[in-house]
């Protein structure tokens, strides 16, 4: 839907004398990059964005690459397509998230809820706030024949890469044997359990991502080890008119 918003504020390219400073301002704020990120996040092509904003695909392509200077009116049109305020393009960008967790800082925890744990795990990202996935370093100890391997269930999906040893994963009614170098990706909403089948411990890297289930008054808590990856977005067609 084409926007009818017509801001009264002056636009950057209204006066030739202002062009150099306007170009510098636009480049500093990296507005073209912000527009491109918004567009790709929506899996939207240039032609589609142009149709909604009332702008040509060729103009939008030049705008994203910094070859043209936008007017406030054009930015307002684009902002409305993505449900953003015009100020979005001029506010300082947050620092990108980056965290390092040293090996010495990790905490080794046993499987919970059982007297005789069959695995131990260490969170590899416990200090990251509002994280979208949970990576673990897991060590599965050789299981006693009489040991009760308790299955568990959690929302989402799980990815496991076996670094060393042999491991059995029970998923539903089926048992799958894995050796070092094998990986598994499965629906964690189905009951699953692990059993070390080698004489020495099996070691694995496990990554989980959980479906965000609204729960009044609290944040969703990750299960242990437990991955729902973000849906893969289709590739964007760089269409120009």
Per residue in 113-124, pLDDT (tens digit) is: 788 888 999 999
* 204 & 135 share domain: yes
Count of Cβ atoms closer than 10 Å to residue 82 Cβ: 17
Tell me what the pLDDT averaged over the chain comes to.
Answer: 78
C-alpha to C-alpha distance for 155 and 177, rounded to whole angstroms: 23
**End-of-domain residue from the set 25, 55, 89:** 89
29 lies in some domain: yes
CA distance 111 to 98: 29
Q: Quick check: 73 pLDDT over 70?
A: yes
Answer yes or no: is 224 within a domain.
no
pLDDT tier at 18 (50, 70, 90 boundaries)? Answer: very low
Tell me, what's the pLDDT at 2? 37
Is 241 contained in some domain?
A: no
- Write down which residue in 37, 59, 89 finishes a domain: 89
What's the mean pLDDT in 131-152? 85
Which tokens go with 41? 């996040």
Contact yes or no for 123/136 (Cβ under 8 A): yes
Same domain, 73 and 164: no
Task: Tell me the CATH number at 160.
Answer: 2.60.120.10
C-alpha–C-alpha distance, residues 227 and 217, integer Å: 24
Q: Which band of pLDDT confidence, cut at 50, 70 and 90, is reported for residue 71? A: confident
Query: Considering its fold, how many domains does the chain have in total?
Result: 2
Report the pLDDT averaged over residues 6-17.
Answer: 41
Residue 25 vs residues 13, 91, 191: alpha-carbon distances, Å: 12, 12, 55
The pLDDT of residue 108 is: 93
Domain limit, last residue, from 89, 118, 139: 89
Please determine, for residue 240, whether its predicted confidence score (pLDDT) is greater than 70: no
DSSP lists the bridge partners of residue 171 as 174, 192
Task: Check whether 99 has a pLDDT greater than 60.
Answer: yes
Highest mean pLDDT among 40-44, 94-98, 230-234: 40-44
Residues 118 and 156 in one domain: yes
Question: What band does 87 get if pLDDT is binned at 50, 70 and 90?
Answer: confident
82-104 mean pLDDT: 83
Flag whether the pTM goes above 0.95.
Answer: no
Same domain, 79 and 145: no
Q: Write the pLDDT tens digit of every residue in 157-213.
A: 999 999 999 999 999 999 999 999 999 999 999 999 999 999 999 999 999 987 544
**In this structure, is residue 223 part of a structural domain?**
no
Which residue range forms the structural domain that includes residue 64? 12-89
In a domain, 239, yes or no: no
């Amino acid at each position: 839907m084409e926007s009818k918003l017509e801001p009264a504020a002056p636009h950057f390219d209204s006066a030739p004398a202002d062009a150099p400073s306007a170009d510098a301002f636009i480049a500093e704020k990296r507005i073209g990059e912000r527009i491109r990120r918004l567009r790709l996040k929506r899996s939207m092509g240039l032609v589609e964005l142009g149709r909604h904003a009332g702008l040509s695909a060729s103009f939008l392509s030049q705008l994203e690459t910094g070859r043209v200077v936008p007017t406030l009116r054009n930015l307002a049109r684009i902002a409305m397509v993505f449900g953003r305020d015009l100020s979005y393009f001029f506010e300082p960008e947050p620092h990108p998230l980056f965290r390092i967790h040293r090996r010495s800082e990790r905490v080794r925890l046993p499987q919970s809820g059982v007297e005789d744990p069959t695995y131990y795990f260490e969170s590899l990202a416990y200090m990251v706030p509002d994280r979208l996935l949970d990576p673990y370093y897991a060590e599965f100890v050789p299981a006693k024949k009489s040991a009760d391997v308790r299955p568990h269930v959690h929302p989402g999906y799980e990815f496991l890469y076996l670094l060393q040893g042999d491991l059995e994963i029970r998923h539903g009614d089926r048992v799958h044997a894995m050796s070092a170098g094998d990986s598994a990706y499965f629906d964690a909403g189905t009951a699953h359990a692990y059993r070390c089948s080698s004489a020495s411990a099996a070691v694995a890297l496990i990554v989980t991502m959980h479906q965000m289930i609204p729960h009044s008054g609290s944040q969703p808590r990750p299960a242990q080890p437990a991955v729902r990856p973000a849906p893969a977005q289709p590739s964007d067609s760089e269409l120009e008119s």
